[in-house]
Amino acid sequence: MDPANITVVREEPEPCRVRLNIEVPAEIVADRFAAAMNGFRRQARLPGFRKGKAPDALVLRKFDTDIRQHVQDELIQMGLKEALGREEKHPASRVELSNPKQLRVDVNDSFVFAVSYDVDPEFELPDYRALRIEEADVAVDDAQVAGAVDEWLENQATFEVVERPAAAEDLLKVSYTGQLTEPLPDGEELPESAKALLSPSAETWVPLREPGILPNVVEQLIGCVAGDEKEVVVRFPEDYFEEFLRGRTARIHMTILEVQGRSVPELTDEFAKNIGAEDAAAVRAVFRQRLELEGRVQRYQALRRKVLEAVTDIPDFPLPPRLLAAETQTVFMALLQSEFQRGVSDEELEGRRNELYNQAREMAARRLKQRCMLLEIAKAEGLEVAPAELTEVIREMSRREKVPEKRLRRRLEESGRIYLIMERLLVDKVLNWLVARVDGTDEAPDEKGTFGPAETAASDAAPEAAAAAPDSEPAADEEGGD
Amino acid sequence: MNPYRIVQSILVTEKGTELAEDFNQYTFRVARDAAKPDIRRAVEEIFDVEVAAVNVMNRRGKKKRVRYGTYGKRADWKKAVVTLKEGSEITLI
């Protein structure tokens, strides 16, 4: 029984797709049948016979389907292992068995089956080593620092009761009652959500800043003083969040109970000490560091985008069809989800289904092309994911998902997701490598978007001020792989 | 007598298989009132073979517990071991 006798005929029905027609010779089939029979006979419990003593003919009649299935599975595994071993390219997608329901294994006959799978495309890598990309260095000037500090101070504003007419940005404490100017037709009632906005309220707050919950009231309320009674007319715009009130007008009677003035703190040494920093200069230094860090992250992300675009700027090549279909489906679902979250109705989505699908297909093709390119570069440069890097990612996931690390690893291995994680790590590594080459640096931000030492120094200067400062938005991942 | 009333079933057991392989003997469950000549005729007619000898034995039905402390009994039955002449054969399975 030599697997070398297995015959394999290779076909390429379409680009990046391989079909292997595999024939396992009759002697191997007979051998596997005999082994299977032996196994089943030893285990078989049939009435009238002790365990393992039933004659073959009886065992075969009783377990015919099971034995054939067992032998078939074995032969497919054996044939596939042998056939893939002879192939130069490993499957890039799941290996699919053709017509699995029509397969039949017979003792005295050879067993023929076929499998299909995607392979990575063949293409010529561009001269990525000669890639040069210019991206301006980060420079943070005093005006930017002052702007960031001011913005932060605005958020630290406090309100105090004042004895003066209300001005813009003030906060009014009012009691009010409201009603629609046009009565509702008989039988129609205000929905609860609209009622909550118009029903009498003994004490509520109205900020004199647009946009507010009550639209177009700021101008009508400016100049009021505590004790004033005011009737304001509210015209709800067509895009008002409460659907029932859209386009309607309401008359609201308000009694001004208090006028609170807004007081934005100034950045003085005393204020800085109150928030735990040494002096005002230290707070500014923290903001400068923060802005520089944000700038470096943005610069890095921009470089990554440009590198990716430059590297993949070669003529299109055929992509693995099944991988493309799977990726398209993933992107399509994500698009539908995001449209749905934007409030697009089911009917509209149904109408735009084809357009969205084509968009998803384009995006999927671009992603797949990028993935192929980067993995090819990894191969050419001998870049690999170190076991420690993978362990670190799994450790982080286990912390996040609150699952023991070993169990999570086993789960990932069983589901095959671990290979996806490894691939993503590798793609990321290649991109970092390319950026480091074009930029002449070795630095790359960690997953929190920080570069490490720079922020540590800044944070040490005034930890609480750093914590209180507005967080920067994490830069978007241009690959969008997740 | 109807041969199918006499020969009720063929007994496929470990011992029966060995008897068939080694001595060309086949075991049957037969009607309790069937005599050896009846069994011979019935086997010859049903399986189209030539019988050399027939041995019979009456088997007592097993006692079976029906519920706690109460016993029932399976029916008594008759077993026949039929030896075929050389050249005759019955395919058991």
CATH 1.10.150.300 for domain A270-468, yes or no, is no
Residues of chain B below pLDDT 70: 93
Q: Give the pLDDT of residue A441.
A: 64
Chain B touched by A55 (CB under 8 Å): yes
The arithmetic mean of pLDDT across residues A329-341, rounded, is: 91
* CATH code for the domain defined by A3-118: 3.30.70.1050
Say if B91 falls within a structural domain: no
In the stretch 9-28 of chain B, residues with CB closer than 8 A to chain A read 11-14, 16-17
Please tell me the pTM assigned to this model: 0.61
Q: Is the pLDDT of residue A231 over 50?
A: yes
Q: Give the pLDDT of residue A244.
A: 81
Instruction: Go through chain A and tell me how many residues it has.
Output: 482
3-state secondary structure A6-36: CEEEEEEEECCEEEEEEEECHHHHHHHHHHH
Contacts of residue A59, Cβ cutoff 8 Å, sequence gap at least 6: A37, A40, A41, A44, A46, A67
Read off the CATH number of the domain in which B34 is found: 3.30.70.330
Q: Give the pLDDT of residue B20.
A: 93
Angstroms from B25 CA to nearest CA on chain A? 16
Contact check, Cβ <8 Å, A55/B93: yes
* CB pairs < 8 Å spanning A and B: 18
Q: Give the pLDDT of residue B3.
A: 93
Q: What is the DSSP string of A376-433?
A: HHHHHHT----HHHHHHHHHHHHHHHT--HHHHHHHHHHHTHHHHHHHHHHHHHHHHH
Q: What is the per-residue pLDDT across A418-452, written as a single tens digit (0 to 9) for each?
A: 888 998 999 999 988 888 888 776 555 555 555 54
Domains: count for chain B: 1
Alpha carbon distance A142, A148 (integer Å): 10
Say if B90 falls within a structural domain: no
CB distance A172 to A206 below 8 Å: yes
Contact check, Cβ <8 Å, B14/A61: no
Of A49, A57, A61, the CB nearest to B13: A49
Give strand pairing partners of A158: A263
The arithmetic mean of pLDDT across residues A239-262, rounded, is: 85
Contact check, Cβ <8 Å, B14/A54: yes
Q: Give which of A37, A41, A46, A49 to mutate to test B binding, by max B Cβ within 10 Å.
A: A49
Q: Which of B61, B70, B7 is nearest to B34 (CA)?
A: B7
Question: How many CB atoms lie under 10 A from the CB of residue A10?
Answer: 11
- Minimal Cα distance from A54: which residue of B? B14
What backbone phi and psi angles, to 5 degrees, belong to A386?
-75, 145
Residues in chain B within 8 Å Cβ distance of A49: 13-14, 17
Q: Give the pLDDT of residue A75.
A: 94
Of residues A218 and A17, more confidently modeled: A17
- Minimal Cα distance from A53: which residue of B? B14
Of A48, A57, A61, the CB nearest to B14: A48
Residues in chain A within 8 Å Cβ distance of B12: 48, 58
Residues in chain B within 8 Å Cβ distance of A50: 14
Alpha carbon distance A264, A150 (integer Å): 9
Contact check, Cβ <8 Å, A61/B93: yes
Query: Which residues belong to CATH 1.10.3120.10 in chain A?
Result: 270-468
- Minimal Cα distance from A56: which residue of B? B93
Q: At what angle do helices A353-381 and A280-311 cross, to 10 degrees?
A: 90
Chain B touched by A62 (CB under 8 Å): no
Q: Is the pLDDT of residue A74 over 90?
A: yes
Q: Give the pLDDT of residue A466.
A: 40
Q: Is the pLDDT of residue A81 over 60?
A: yes
Range of weakest confidence among A103-112, A388-397, B10-19, B27-36: A103-112
Q: Is the pLDDT of residue A342 over 50?
A: yes
Alpha carbon distance A90, A88 (integer Å): 7
CB distance A168 to A207 below 8 Å: no
Query: Which residues belong to CATH 3.10.50.40 in chain A?
Result: 158-263
Contact check, Cβ <8 Å, A58/B16: no
Say if B37 falls within a structural domain: yes
Contact check, Cβ <8 Å, A55/B16: no
Residues in chain B within 8 Å Cβ distance of A52: none
Residues in chain A within 8 Å Cβ distance of B13: 48-49
pLDDT band of residue A333 (cuts 50, 70, 90) is very high
Q: Is the pLDDT of residue A338 over 60?
A: yes
CA separation (Å) from A448 to A79, A395, A476? Answer: 47, 15, 12
Residues in chain A within 8 Å Cβ distance of B16: 48
Q: Give which of A58, A61, A63, A64 to mutate to test B binding, by max B Cβ within 10 Å.
A: A58
Q: Give the pLDDT of residue A450.
A: 54
CATH 3.10.50.40 for domain A158-263, yes or no, is yes
pLDDT band of residue A455 (cuts 50, 70, 90) is very low
Q: Is the pLDDT of residue A64 over 80?
A: yes
Angstroms from B46 CA to nearest CA on chain A? 22
Instruction: Go through chain B and tell me how many residues it has.
Output: 93
Of residues A408 and A453, more confidently modeled: A408
Name the burial class of residue A277, with classes exposed (0-12), middle (13-18) and buried (19+) by CB atoms within 10 angstroms of its CB.
Answer: buried
Range of the domain at B39: 3-84
Residues in chain B within 8 Å Cβ distance of A54: 14
Chain mean position to CA A266:
41
CB distance B29 to B72 below 8 Å: no
Say if B79 falls within a structural domain: yes
ipTM for the predicted complex: 0.83
